[in-house]
Structure 1
Amino acid sequence: MHSLDEPPPAAPPTRSAVIVPVPAAEHAVAAHRAHLDRAAGWGVPAHLTVLHPFLPPSQLDEQALSALAAAAATVGGFDVTFAATAWFGAEVLWLAPTPEQPLRQLTAAVFSAFPDHPPYGGAHGTDPADVQPHLTVAERALAGPDGLSALQAAEADVRTRLPFSQHLDHALLITGSEQPRSWRTLRRLELGSR
């Protein structure tokens, strides 16, 4: 039993994901993501998705972790620049990474090691080349009745903070649920050296 001064224990994680965190993006997107990106509410930092959904947390044993680390190490660290915003229809505002190819290679390597877990559950096909690398800023579904205007305002603000760049040298295996602030890093996955 916990005291009234302590938060209740966190529920066990129900999902996992492999992401590449982009701390340099926080200055540009954090204020918008806090209200307009459900992953931010779950505690997921600004990121590029490698593979989600990934294995159920109960299957993240040492064999799976070793295979994941080996897959991540096949792609060298890389520099990425975010210089433009983009949209999925009128529903999601995102930042476009340049170049895209190293992230596509990382997704392909992880998917090759775990072929039963396609990117986005196969919603966009099972070929990683068909998945658009992106850093989500805002989702219209979370913006209320004036959703499109809210996303357009977020876009105008974010554009004033572009471009920015970051060297990416690791991915993260994270686990959590749809509960607020529930996602945690389970393993840091070093990218290979070039």
Structure 2
Amino acid sequence: MSDNNTSTFQAGQTGLVVRIPEAEPAVRAWRARFDPSARAGVPAHVTVLFPFLDERRTDPDVRSALADVLGRHHAFDLRFESCGRFPGTLFLRPAPDAPLRRLTESVAARWPEAPPYGGRFTEVVPHLTVVDGQDDAVLDKAEADLSGALPVISRVTSVDLMAYDGTAWRLRESFALRG
């Protein structure tokens, strides 16, 4: 859930994320400086689906359906051993990424009115954003710094629904994966 500037977040927006607390020691300082979502309260994460439905639509029926869709997926392990880049963005690359892709595909299939990233990209690439909206010199520095902190290993057991209240992103509910 990364944007170039926190003012682009809109009150009522929601997103589904997989928190990666094990990555925090390695990425916290970089994210605090160069990831608007971190400054707005989003922990280290891999996005499952953003934007999701407007928060007013995430009623008990939607939350029950989310629990059902997500609960069909098994918990899984991830390793972050390397960095990747998009233009202006440095991220940690999860492996394997297939379980994350399946989570995104299943939620997007259930709610086709909420395509990943608003339909801006033809392919969704699971990633943990570390630096966003910076030049290559900053990305190079961050990548060099992170090299000594990798790999990061994480067990994924849930997906979180987060909502932006106009000031910060807040956890609304956590949905358990199977096992």
TM-score with structure 1 setting the length? 0.84
Equivalent-residue separation in structure 2 for 1:159 and 1:75 (angstroms) = 31
Match of residue 32 from structure 1: 30
Q: Which residue of 2 aligns with 1:133?
A: 126
How many angstroms does 1:178 deviate by?
5.9
For residues 46-105 of structure 1, the C-alpha deviation after alignment (integer angstroms, 9 at most, x for no partner) is 00000000000111111111111111111100000000001013x100000000010011
Unaligned runs of 5+ in 2: 1-9
Aligned to 1:82: 80
**1:107 paired residue number:** 104
Equivalent residue in structure 1 for 2:118, among 113, 121, 141: 121
Residue 178 and residue 36 in structure 1: after superposition, are their counterparts in 2 closer, same or farther (change >3 A)?
farther
CA-based RMSD of the aligned residues comes to: 1.3
* Contact map agreement 2:77 2:156 (CA 8 A) in 1: yes
Q: Which has the larger radius of gyration?
A: 1
Output the CA distance in 2 between the equivalents of 1:122 and 1:13: 20
Q: How does 1:33-52 map to 2 (within 5 A)?
A: 33-52=31-50
Instruction: Name the SS of the counterpart of 1:31 in structure 2.
Output: helix
Match of 2:5 in 1: none
The Cα shift of 1:148 comes to 2.3
CA contact (8 A) 2:11 2:166 kept: no
Percent of paired sites with the same residue:
38
Q: Which amino acid aligns with 1:21?
A: R
What's 2:6 paired with?
Answer: none
Show structure 1 runs of 4+ deviating over 4 A.
Answer: none
